[in-house]
Chains A and B, each alone.
Chain A
Amino acid sequence: MIELQQVSFGYGGGFAARDWNLTLEDHSLTAVIGENGSGKTTLLRLLAGELRPREGRILLDGRDTASLPKRALARSLSYFPQGRPIPDMTVEEVVSLGRYPHVGARGERTPAERQRILFAMERAGVASFASRPVRELSYGERQRVYLAMQLAQDANHCLFDEPTNFLDAAAAFSMLEQLRALAGEGRCVLCVLHDLSLAMQYAHRILLLHGGRLVADGTPEQIDASGAVEEYLGVALRRVETSNGAVYAVTPGHRV
Chain B
Amino acid sequence: MSILQNCCIPKSSRRPDRREWLFWILPLLAVAAFVLALLVGASRVDLGEALSAALAGERENTAYRIVFYLRLPRALGALLAGGALATAGVLLQAVLQNPMAAPNVIGVNAGAGFFSILAMALFPGVLGHLPLAAFLGALLAALLIYAVSAVTGAGRVTVTLVGVAVGSILTAASNTVKTLFPDSVYDISDFLIGGLSGVSLATVLPAAVMILPALGITLLGSRSLDVLSLGEEVAGGLGLRVSRVRLLWLLLSAVLAGAAVSFCGLIGFVGLIVPHVMRRLVGNRHRYLLPASIFGGGAFLLLADTVSRTLFSPYELPVGILLSLVGGPFFIGLVLMERRAKR
Contacts and interface: CB of A to CB of B under 8 A. Distances in A.
A114 B7 CA distance: 11
Nearest to B7: A119
Contact of A154 (B3, B221, B239, B241): B3
Contact of A101 (B3, B9, B231, B239): B239
B11 A111 contact: yes
Interface string B271-295: 0000000010001110100000000
Interface in B10-47: 11-14
Secondary structure of the B contact surface, majority rule: loop
B4 A119 contact: yes
B3 A89 contact: no
B188 interface: no
Given A89-B284, A97-B230, A81 B14 contact: no
A107 B287 contact: yes
A114 B12 contact: yes
Nearest to B220: A105
Given A107-B223, A111-B11, A185 B3 contact: yes
B285 A89 contact: yes
Contacts of A104: 223
Interface in B197-230: 220-224, 226-227, 229-230
Contacts of B7: 115-116, 118-119
Interface residues of A, number: 48
Given A100-B239, A107-B223, A119-B4, A87 B230 contact: yes
B337 to A, nearest CB: 13
B259 to A, nearest CB: 24
Interface string A7-33: 000000000000000000000000000
A71 to B, nearest CB: 3
Name, among B3, B8, B11, B226, the residue most crowded by chain A CB atoms within 10 Å (CB to CB): B3
B237 interface: yes
A94 to B, nearest CB: 7
Contacts of B229: 85, 87-89
B236 interface: yes
A73 interface: yes
Nearest to B6: A119
B336 interface: no
A143 interface: no
A12 B239 CA distance: 26
B11 A71 contact: no
B152 interface: no
Given A85-B230, A88-B229, A185-B1, A119 B239 contact: no
Contacts of A75: 239
Given A81-B233, A85-B230, A89-B229, A154 B2 contact: yes
A90 B226 CA distance: 12
B324 interface: no
A79 B287 CA distance: 25
A140 interface: no
A156 B1 contact: yes
B289 to A, nearest CB: 10
A120 interface: yes
B231 to A, nearest CB: 4
B91 to A, nearest CB: 16
B284 A119 contact: no
Q: Which of A80, A83, A104 has the most CB of B within 10 A?
A: A104
B193 to A, nearest CB: 33
A81 B9 contact: no
A84 interface: yes
B238 interface: yes
A48 interface: yes
A74 B239 contact: yes
A93 B224 contact: no
Contacts of A89: 226, 229, 283-285
B257 to A, nearest CB: 23
A186 interface: yes
B226 A88 contact: no
B95 to A, nearest CB: 14
B237 A186 contact: no
Interface in A128-161: 146, 151-154, 156
Q: Which of A72, A81, A97 has the most CB of B within 10 A?
A: A97
Contact of A84 (B220, B233, B239): B233
B281 to A, nearest CB: 13
A70 interface: yes
5 contacts: A73-B239, A81-B237, A85-B231, A97-B226, A105-B221
Chain A to chain B: the 8 pairs with minimum beta-carbon distance, closest first: A74-B239, A71-B239, A79-B237, A119-B7, A81-B233, A101-B239, A88-B284, A85-B231
Given A79-B236, A97-B227, 17 more contacts: A50-B236, A50-B237, A73-B239, A74-B237, A74-B238, A79-B233, A88-B284, A93-B285, A101-B238, A106-B223, A107-B223, A115-B11, A119-B4, A146-B234, A151-B4, A153-B238, A187-B1
